[in-house]
Amino acid sequence: MSFVVRSTDFQEGSIIPKAFTCEGNDASPALQWDGAPPGTKSLTLIVEDPDAPMGTFIHWVVYDIPASVNGLERGAGSGSSLPPGAKHGATGFGANRYGGPCPPKGHGKHRYNFILRALDMETLGLKAGANRAEVERAMRGHILAEAKTMGVYQR
Task: For residue range 9-58, list pLDDT tens digits in order.
Answer: 999 999 999 999 999 999 999 999 999 999 999 999 999 999 999 999 99
pLDDT mean across residues, the chain: 96
Q: Identify the bridge partners of residue 66 per DSSP, sorted by sequence position.
A: 42
Closest Cα to residue 116, out of 87, 74, 146? 146
Q: Give pTM, 2 decimals.
A: 0.96
Domain 4-153 in CATH 3.90.280.10? The answer is: yes
Cα separation, 117 vs 32, whole angstroms: 13
